[in-house]
Structure 1
Amino acid sequence: MSEEAMIVVRACADCGAVWYLPRDLCPGCGSETVTARPSEGVGTCAAVTRYAATEDQPRRAFCLIDLDEGARMMARCEPSLNPGDRVTATYVDGMPHFIGSR
């Protein structure tokens, strides 16, 4: 998997906070002791927003995903997902797109 096609989470060595968006300082305690590591791309759907199909766009959806590593992120997903569903990341044009885990 190429670098652009992976989810990277950050973790604080001091307080244990885990987050998705890149930050040099921990949002929990302000520590500079931050490490980055690839996520497995597996988690649980926390919320879904669905958009109706139009003439030139298929039905689509965005979701909040609670990754198993402890971070929450927003991404595209299958419109059929519901909160509580287990999900796995696939990649479309290098961006994460979550699908239901089978």
Structure 2
Amino acid sequence: MAAADAGAQGSSADSPGVLAGGTTQIPVNVPVNMCNGTVNVIGLLNPAFGGTCTNDADASARGSSADSPGVLAGGTTQIPVNVPVNMCNGTVNVIGLLNPAFGGTCTNN
């Protein structure tokens, strides 16, 4: 399961002036799961099954600009980036026979 959550909370208050008190927030969240897979050149009876992969993380930004009078004053820029990656419960074979991977659990919180 890949659950993406990106949130932003921001405010600009009491910042009179030209281009004053600007708030820019760009939270980015890209969860990636690669689970229970097999890669074979020659393979026989080498399943990968029963594993659980979970990405439950978020990218968030919280900021404010206040009491910043003037020209280009009081600016806030936030770009939190979260890229959780799960790669588990898999097999890679050049020549393989009866080499299962199963029942594992991978979690990113």
| Band the TM-score falls in, shorter-chain normalisation | under 0.3
Higher strand share: 2
Task: Please report the TM-score for the alignment, with normalisation by the length of structure 2.
Answer: 0.22
Q: TM-score, normalised by structure 1?
A: 0.22
Task: Give 1 or 2 for the bigger CA radius of gyration.
Answer: 2
**Highest RCO, 1 vs 2 (Cα 8 Å, sep ≥ 6):** 2
